[in-house]
Amino acid sequence: MPSLWKRLFIAFMVLVFILMIGIVGYMTIEGWNLFDSLYMTVISLTTVGYSETHDLSKNGRIFTIFLLFSGMGMLAYGIGTFTAFLVEGQLLDYLRGRQMLKKISRLRDHFIICGYRGEGRYALEELIKTKTPHVVVDSDIAELSTMFPDAELLYIEGDPTKEQTLEQANLENAQGLISALPSDSENLLVILSARMMSSDIRIITCVFDRESTQKFQRVGANGTVMADFIGGLRMASEAIRPTVVSFLDTMLREKDQTLRIEEIKVLGEGNEWVGKTLQEIDFPRQTGLLVVAVKSLNSGKYVYNPRADYVVEIDDVLIVIGRTEQVFKMKRLLGHDIDDPEGEDNHSASPSETPAQST
């Protein structure tokens, strides 16, 4: 419980205690009933100046003096604490948190990202750029709004290794989880908690000790990423194939448009594209996307640069390159129930702007 909430709770309990002391005192000393005793206690503590309910005896007046000195101090403490509660924004934060939990509970097929610093920062940037629904989970979200001032983020402030926190992040309906906490032990606990809660969710984690990779896989991680390993590959690629690296960097860092290589699964028995060839569907004209590979359901293998006569089947995974809004349009065409988060332009590309389908 945050310190201010704790102080508010303590102030409330002290106030109740003082009221009980006053009620019991007047009932015992003066023999008054419950309502008269409560009334006398309240007007004494609030110093409103109303006349006494009944004439007080000497002992009753001594008790009232004691009640005034002790009770007024407690009342002032309670009022001060409640004022701080309002001024410091705790009430607004509480109401905002309740509203955020409602939004999170309505999410479907979203991603949960545990940790937004270090590797988590770049993972979160990619989720934001590609408009992928997500929830940030971290024990301290103080820097989140500073690091991503323009993003409307959904977040949970809590320990991501706890099942209760992951439950608040709506893990049951999540598509995947990314664990990017600063130590292997924390990431391992996140994976254990998440896998116990869901056997289907896809879990990706960063790993700092190479010898721990198999441990992560045994407890349920679908994929592991080592920053040192990726960094080494990047340096080798910069030396061997600088133009390719430059192309990918430009694609990822372009500010005017978000161009990505994406995967789209073909869904639904009633999908009008199932059983047709790539040439018949003509995705470049329909969406502006270029199909660069297909993972075939039948063979389980990748078909690179598929021919125009390749027949699309249910559960095939198409690997495409194009803009984010084009990907949303293609997902809808292939049976995905999805809306473009920002309602961006989804018009079909004109033939002059459209990449040609490989044959």
- 135 is a domain residue: yes
148: left (phi over 0), alpha (psi -120 to 50) or beta: beta
- 280 is a domain residue: yes
Looking at the structure, tell me whether residues 355 and 269 fall in a common domain: yes
Looking at the structure, tell me whether residues 193 and 291 fall in a common domain: no
The confidence score (pLDDT) of residue 194 equals 96
Amino acid, res. 295: K
For the residues 325-347, what does the mean pLDDT come to? 64
- 96 is a domain residue: no
The confidence score (pLDDT) of residue 284 equals 86
Looking at the structure, tell me whether residues 79 and 134 fall in a common domain: no
pLDDT tens for each residue of 103-131: 999 999 999 999 999 899 999 998 998 88
pLDDT tens for each residue of 235-258: 898 899 888 888 777 777 776 667
Report which of 78, 73, 74, 94 is spatially closest to residue 8, judged by C-alpha positions.
78
The confidence score (pLDDT) of residue 350 equals 35
pLDDT tens for each residue of 83-98: 766 665 555 666 677 8
Q: How many residues does the chain have?
A: 359
- 97 is a domain residue: no
Looking at the structure, tell me whether residues 213 and 286 fall in a common domain: no
- 168 is a domain residue: yes
Q: Where are the alpha helices (DSSP H) in 184-226?
A: 184-197, 213-218
Report which of 291, 246, 263 is spatially closest to residue 202, judged by C-alpha positions.
263
Domain that holds residue 341: 259-359
CATH for 266: 3.30.70.1450
Residue with token string 């969406």: 287
Looking at the structure, tell me whether residues 119 and 71 fall in a common domain: no
Domain count, the chain: 3
Looking at the structure, tell me whether residues 276 and 314 fall in a common domain: yes
What would the two tokens of residue 103 be? 């939004």
Return d(Cα 16, Cα 126) in angstroms, integer: 52
Return d(Cα 53, Cα 71) in angstroms, integer: 19
CATH for 36: 1.10.287.70
* Cβ neighbours of 136 (radius 10 Å): 24
Positive or negative: CA dihedral 325, 329, 331, 336: positive
Mean pLDDT over the full length of the chain: 82
Q: 190 pLDDT exceeds 80?
A: yes
What would the two tokens of residue 304 be? 């690179």
The confidence score (pLDDT) of residue 343 equals 45
For the residues 287-297, what does the mean pLDDT come to? 88
- 47 is a domain residue: yes
